[in-house]
Amino acid sequence: MEKEFICVVCPNGCSIKVRYEEGNPPKLTAAEGARCPRGRSWAQQEIENPMRTFSSSVLVEDGDFLEASVRLTKPVPLAKVFAVMEEIKKIRLRAPLSIGDVILTDPAGTKTEVIVTRNVPLKAK
């Protein structure tokens, strides 16, 4: 099989054409177009076990802000992104919050953490 990707590892944005054998997991047999060595490794991971990281927001009670931004500390398998998002959606936090506060550990069995990326002080009364 063949597939084409735009590499996201560095700012070059190389167009990488890969060939791979189907299987579980698929096996990369060729990768062309990468201008740096990291491109081939990224293409191999993208074929064999694609990973993603993302940020989101959660609702906050009693804070100066209604929401706090959050992010993952490590990438998760692409197949588990929606399961992780569902767990994050259920969270309601109470101010005060500090950058780096861990609000969820091991969502969907992914061995990552979800952390706060914005300070949210208590609402002034």
Mean pLDDT score of the chain: 95
CATH of the domain at 64: 3.10.530.10
**Tens-place pLDDT, residues 105-115:** 999 999 999 99
Q: If we measure between CA atoms, which residue out of 30, 25, 33 comes closest to residue 9?
A: 33
Domain that holds residue 32: 2-49
The answer to whether residues 61 and 34 belong to one domain is no
pLDDT of residue 117: 98
Q: Predicted confidence band at 44 (pLDDT cuts at 50, 70, 90)?
A: very high
Contact between 98 and 118 under an 8 Å Cβ cutoff? The reply is no
In a domain, 121, yes or no: no
Retrieve residue 95's tokens. Answer: 């101010």
The answer to whether residues 29 and 12 belong to one domain is yes
**Tens-place pLDDT, residues 20-40:** 999 888 888 999 999 988 999
